[in-house]
Each structure stands twice: as C-alpha cells, then as structure tokens.
Chain A
Amino acid sequence: MLDLSLMLAAFADVFTPTNIMFILGGVILGQIVGAIPGLSIIMALAIAVPLTYGMDTLAAIAFLISVNKGGTVGGAVPAILLNVPGSAESAATTMDGHPMAKNGKPLKAMKYALYHSVTGDLASDIVLILLAAPLAVVALNMGPVEITALMILAFTVISGLVGDSMIKGLISAAFGILVATVGLDPGMATPRFTFGVLELYDGVPLTAVSIGALAMSGVLVGLLSMRGSDQKTQSSAISMKGRTREQSVVTFAEYWANRFVAVRAFFIGTVIGAIPGLGSTTAGFLSYSVNKQAAKDPEAFGTGDPRGIAASETANSAVVGANLIPLLTLGIPGNIAAALLVSAFIIHGIQPGPLLFEQQAQLVYGMFGAMLVANFCNLGVGQIGMRFWAMVVSAPGTVIYPAAMLLCFAGSFVITGASFGVYVMIVSAIFGYMMRAFGYSIVAFIVAFLLTPQLEGAVVRARLITNDDPAALLSHPIALALIAMSIGSIIYLGPRKKKKPLDGDLQAPTGQ
C-alpha cells in the first residue's frame, strides 16, 4: 500500500540544494561522458561510485542515477554528429540521426533524440514507481528456497543473454562466485582465500573490482587502440553553424507526430529493461526494427527519418528506469548499471531488495523523486548543452583516456585509503582485459560477484529449513518452477547457440 505522506516527505527530501546540485552535476557529467566516443556510461558510473563516499545515501544514489540518465542522452550526440555512438546504447540512433545531420539538421536531430530520450525515460520511471512496491510485496513472500532458485535462474539467464557463449558466461559467473567467497565466511567467520593478507578478511572490495574490470580495462583497450593508430583525435563532427530556425527547432507538432512510434518504443524498452541481462542496445535496435516494419513507408527509415531517432532513443532510455524493477523487487541487478548502483547502496550500508520498501521506504521514494527530477534536469541541461557537447566529441583521446585512467587510479585509492584498493583495481583490470579479449562476460562476473553473498545466505537458510533433503523441494512449487526455468534457459540459450553479444558486455569502446 502506498503511503502518500511518506512519499511526499521523500519527494521533499530531494528538493534540498545539495541534492539538486548533485542531480544536476550527475546529469552534466553523464551527458559529457556519453558524448565522448570511447568512454561509456558504465565507465563513468564505475569511476563515479568512489566519488559518492562522502555523500549522504540519497544524494549518492541520485547522483549515480543522474549520471546514467545523462549518459543515455549524451550518447546520441556523437551518434548523430560523427556516425559513431558515444555509447553502445545509442548505436541504433546513428541509422537516422546521422543522415538527418548530413541533411543539414544536426541540432534538430539532437533535439529529437533529447525529447524522445527524456520521454522514454520518464514514462519508464513512472512504470517503475507504480510497479516496484506491489512486486516487492510478492517477492517478500518468497522463502530462502525460492530465493535460492531465483538466484540460480538469474545467473543462468544473465550468463546466457550476455556475451557470445553461454559456457563462457557461466564460467564468468563461476569466477564471480569464487572471488566473492574471499574473506570471512558468513556462517562461521573463518577466513577463505585470504593468504595472510589482512585487508582480504573483509573480502575483495566491490568498487575496486568494478573500477578495474569495467572502467580501467575499457580505458586500457581505448589507450591501446589509440596507440595502434596514428589518429589521435576523433574524426571531425558535422558543424552546427549557420542553420535556420526550421533546421534547428523541433516543434510540438513534429514531436507529437511520432507518438505511436514512441509508445511502441517505450513498451519495448520497458519490457526489455525489466528482464535481467538485456539492455539498452537490444532495446534500441529491436524498437527500430519493429517500428520500421510497422511503418507504411519503411524505406524512409535510414534516410534521416525522425521516427528512426524516436524509436531508438525512446526505447534505450525506457530501459534506464525499468532495469531497476528486478533490483528493487528481487535484489537482482538487471544490468551492469544497476549492479554499480548496488555497490553504492552497499557502500552506504543498504542491501537492495524487497525489504527496502519496508526498511528504507523514504529512501526508495526519495530515489524515485530524484529520478523524476533528473529527467527534467536532463531535458534542461540537454537543451542548453547540446551545442557544447558537440565540441566535446572532438576531444583528443590522448587527454580523455589518461584522464579516465587517473580517475580510476585515484578512485580506487580512496576506497581503502591505501594502495591496496589500487592493487585490487589493477588485478581486476588485467582480469577484465583478458575477459574482453577472449569473449568472457564481465557483466556475468560482476553480477555473480555481487549476488553471491546473498545467495550463500539463502542456501544456508534453505539447507537448514529442508534438513538437506532434496525431496523437501517438492513442497516448494515456486522454487521447482524457477529451477525448471533455469534448466529451460540453459537449453534455450544453450552452449551450441551462436549469439551476437548484447550490451552491457562492454567490448572495445565504440568509436575506436
């Protein structure tokens, strides 16, 4: 049951100058990073997590969510101006965004992208706000046996959907489980794999692992690709100078003309966002394809048609809110951005999941409020900043990548206040680089690393409840159904099935 007074109090929490400042700062940072080809939103989020150490919980979460939202908008800028998506999420936007820019309407294309991105994001946030609490109530009725089965399902689905091979996805997840066991065990508090290193008794620091495996390994891939080529700057962007009003402004009538495309894209983005393992890139391409097929004149797509931009941007942004549904209701991060958000929750001593609505309701509704505010900030900042971000896309990689590397270095140092965090980050970067090079899923690794403590607790409780009797499973039909679904997903997404890698798997940075 929604408590209106609590919701109002939580929304009021958002409107403090500090929180608004962090939301604005996050949106600006996200849009800038999104606009730089080669730097992904995930890198920005991983680097931004240590920046939140000194913040209060709501400000920290609001800041990270704003970075994510800003990045989705910013990613469209190079997609339109350079035909190179700033982030994988905006890849489908290149198909009509760049032709429209080449037709003399670069600012108009960016505004189409901005308006539809904010529309998709806002609508999906509203779905999250309406659905999360009721779904969490359902999730609360699940016992440890069901939670164990659910986690197994999450592992198999995520391992199967991300990356190019389910076996490699599962191997990545198994390594995530292994690394998560380092430190004192939760049951008897005996050390595991600590090798006499005192710092490892608390486990491997999640944030340092995230920075290393996700951000630093990507930065190194970018640095190495720059090293391999003579091209030290990005290709020149389409100029926005000397355009008429008609070429620069999107009227309400023009925006409204795409409403059916936007609605279809929103549904696709929201559904895909709510499924763990899938993400914005899939949503963008699927929505583009569906809308093209639904159009009376599909041949117009690809020539600078605004419907193409609306289809891609609405869908990829609709994922941002929806991917928090599994996180807030089940405690399972739907994608890597949600996983990084979990690390921020954990830093502030909060365990995401259905209990959040009972124990931290004001924080959750405050977060929802911050998400809504961030959408409007995204609109305002994008409206003003688009012209400036167009300059950012040409920034040379010889400044961008070393800066990102130094941010990773400093960020991992402040996690532990000593070089230990940097060492963990470096080892994780080596591991992440190898995983990228050989096609193993970093997403599956991070999600498994993140979920294992929860899974271990659930398994211990389930064993105590069932007295280690497998037959006791028969009295848990939901758990049986979930296990059957896990087996089904292994068969369906199985080892022999060749798939294209989906997003969140962070191959080499785009544009390189």
Chain B
Amino acid sequence: MINADRIQGIVVLGFGITLLVWLVPTYVTAVPGNPLDPSLFPRAAGWLISGLGLAQIVLARPGGSVPAGKEFFGFVCFIVALGVAALLLPLLGFLPIACGLMIASLVLLRERRPLWAATTLIAVPFFVWFLFTVVLSRSLS
C-alpha cells in the first residue's frame, strides 16, 4: 500500500543511492584501506540513508500526513521573500531590506491594525539594527 511514510522512504532511499553512486565518488576523494580515508563517513552516511530508507518502505506505518497545499504555498512565499532579502542585502543595506521583509510579512499575515502594523514595520527593524550594530557592534551590511 502507498502511504506518506512509504513515499518518504522511497525518496530517502533514492537520495541514499544517488549519494553512493554519484555524489560521493564525484565530490569526495577516496583512499580505500587507509584509516584516514576521507570517503569513509560520507559512504557510511550513504549506506545508512539507503538502508534506513529501505527499512522505512518495508516498515511504513499506515497514515502519515503531508502539509496542506495552502500552507505549503505560504511557506514558499516566506522562503522566497527571505531569499530575495538575502540577495539584496549587500546592495541595499539592512534597514531597507528589513522593512521590505516586514512589509512582506504583514501582507502575508493580512495584518490591518495600523498600530501593530506600524510597530512591525518601523520599531522591529530599528530594534534589530540597534541591537546588532550599536549594542553588539556587529556590522549588518
């Protein structure tokens, strides 16, 4: 029977095999037989992931849940907003980026109360900037 756990097991097993067949041989230097072999742990991780993926397929429990489509869409929106913010940070500096991120959050959360919206939009970025750059003397750009 196909259920969420079993599908996850297939994905895990697939990744484990990819790791063993392609990623480890291509991106890790192997010195077989040497106690210092750099590929020992990546290979061990590959075998573990493959074996456990197989175990999950075989021993899958009925049921299991997956995130709702609407929730997943919201998650993707936040991740995209964060990614864009990270990309633009070196170009625009922290405060404009932080305000942009807060606007995106307010839009995604549909906050309409002016006082709380203003707090999120102005006070929060300024507080974070003040904490890191003034109190802790860490550069944010």
- Chain A positions within 8 Å of B, measured between CB atoms, are 50-51, 53-54, 165, 167-168, 170-171, 174-175, 177-178, 180-181, 185, 187-188, 190-195, 220, 223-224, 226-228, 232, 396-399, 401-403, 405-407, 409-410, 413-414, 417-419, 422-423, 426, 429-430, 433, 437-439, 452, 456, 459-460, 463-464, 468, 495-496, 498
A419 touches B38 (CB 8 A): no
Known contacts A51-B136, A402-B102, A414-B138: A192-B38 contact under CB 8 Å:
yes
Per-residue interface assignment for chain B, residues 96 to 134, with 1 indicating a CB less than 8 Å from any chain A CB and 0 otherwise: 001001100110111101001101100011011101100
Do residues A398 and B42 form an inter-chain contact, with CB atoms below 8 A? no
Chain A proximity of B65: nearest CB distance (Å)? 8
| Chain B, residue nearest A171 (CB) | B52
Provide the bound-state CA to CA distance between A294 and B79, in Å: 50
**CB pair B41 A406 closer than 8 Å:** no
Nearest A residue (CB) for B87? A419
A170 near B31: Cβ-Cβ < 8 Å: no
What is the distance, in angstroms, from B133's C-beta to the closest C-beta of chain A? 9
Sample of 23 A–B contacts (CB below 8 Å): A167-B59, A177-B45, A178-B45, A178-B49, A181-B28, A185-B29, A187-B35, A190-B38, A220-B79, A224-B75, A398-B105, A398-B111, A398-B113, A402-B124, A403-B128, A406-B125, A423-B83, A423-B86, A426-B86, A429-B79, A456-B41, A459-B40, A460-B35
Nearest residue (CB) in A for B125 is A406
Asked whether B41 lies within 8 Å of A188 as measured between CB atoms, the reply is no
Q: Is the CB of B70 within 8 A of A410?
A: no
| B90 CB-CB contact with A under 8 Å | yes
CB distance from A486 to the nearest CB of B (A): 14
Q: Is B1 close to A, CB under 8 A?
A: no
- How far is B65's CA from A180's CA once the two chains are assembled, in angstroms? 29
Residues of B within 8 A of A170 (CB): 48, 52
Q: Contact between B53 and A188 (Cβ–Cβ < 8 Å)?
A: no
- Indicate which residue in B42, B44, B52 contacts A192 across the interface (CB closer than 8 Å): B42
Q: A421's closest neighbor in chain B, by CB?
A: B86
Other A-B contacts than A174-B49, A409-B85, A422-B89, 8 sampled, CB-CB below 8 A, are A188-B38, A220-B79, A224-B78, A232-B116, A396-B116, A399-B116, A399-B119, A413-B140
Q: Which 4 A-B pairs have the closest CB atoms?
A: A187-B36, A185-B38, A178-B45, A174-B48
> Which residue of chain A lies nearest to B108 when distances are taken between CB atoms in the complex?
A227
Query: Which partner residue on chain B sits nearest A452 by CB separation?
Result: B41
Q: Point out which of A54, A190, A398 has the most chain B C-beta atoms below 10 A from its C-beta.
A: A398
Please give the distance in Å from B106's CB to the nearest CB on chain A. 7
B139 to chain A, nearest CB (A): 7
Are A227 and B35 neighbours in the complex by a CB distance under 8 Å? no
Query: In the complex, A188 Cα to B71 Cα: how many Å?
Result: 45
Contacts of A185 in B (CB 8 A): 29, 36, 38
B117 neighbours in A (Cβ, 8 Å): 398
Q: Give chain A residues whose Cβ lies under 8 Å from the Cβ of B74.
A: 223-224, 227-228
* Interchain CB contact under 8 A, B124 and A406: yes
Contact residues in B for A188 (Cβ distance below 8 Å): 29, 31, 36, 38
Q: In the complex, which residues 71-95 of chain B have their Cβ closer than 8 Å to any Cβ of chain A?
A: 71, 74-75, 78-79, 82-83, 85-87, 89-90, 94
Tally the A-B contacts, defined by beta carbons under 8 Å.
194
1/0 contact string of B7-41 vs chain A (CB within 8 Å): 01000100000010001000111010001111111
Contact status A192-B28, CB under 8 Å: yes
The closest CB in chain A to the CB of B49 belongs to A174
Q: How far is the CA of A195 from the CA of B44 in the complex (A)?
A: 20
Query: Is A178 a contact partner of B109 (Cβ separation < 8 A)?
Result: no
Complex Cα distance, B86 from A98, in Å, reads 43
Q: Is the CB of A414 within 8 A of B140?
A: yes
* Interface flag for B66 (CB, 8 Å): yes
Q: Which A residue's beta carbon lies closest to that of B27?
A: A193
A422 to B89, CA, bound (A): 10
Known A188-B31, A402-B101, A495-B59: A224·B71 in contact at CB below 8 Å: yes
Question: Provided the pairs A223-B78, A423-B86 are in contact, do residues A401 and B105 lie with their beta carbons within 8 angstroms?
Answer: yes
B86's partner among A403, A419, A463 (CB-CB below 8 A) is: A419
CB distance from B66 to the nearest CB of A (A): 7
Is B79 in contact with A402, judged by CB distance below 8 angstroms?
no
B59 and A174 contacting across the interface, CB-CB below 8 Å: no
Q: Are B38 and A407 in contact (CB under 8 A)?
A: no
| B127:A403 contact, CB within 8 angstroms | yes
Other-chain contact of A405, B67, B105, B111 (Cβ < 8 Å): B105
CA distance A414 to B140 in the complex (A): 7
A187 touches B38 (CB 8 A): yes
Complexed CA–CA distance, A185 and B53 (Å): 26
Residue of A187, A398, A456 near B120 (CB, 8 A) is: A398
Query: Which listed residue, A51, A171, A228, touches B70 by the CB 8 Å rule?
Result: A228
- How far, in angstroms, from A213 to B92 measured CA to CA in the complex? 27
Contacts of B53 in A (CB 8 A): 171
Minimum CB–CB distance for A501 against chain B, Å: 13
Q: A232-B109, A498-B61 are in contact. Are A403 and B124 (CB under 8 A)?
A: yes
Assuming the contacts A178-B42, A223-B105, A402-B105, asked whether A426 and B94 have C-beta atoms less than 8 A apart, the reply is: no
Q: Say whether A407 contacts B106, CB under 8 Å.
A: no
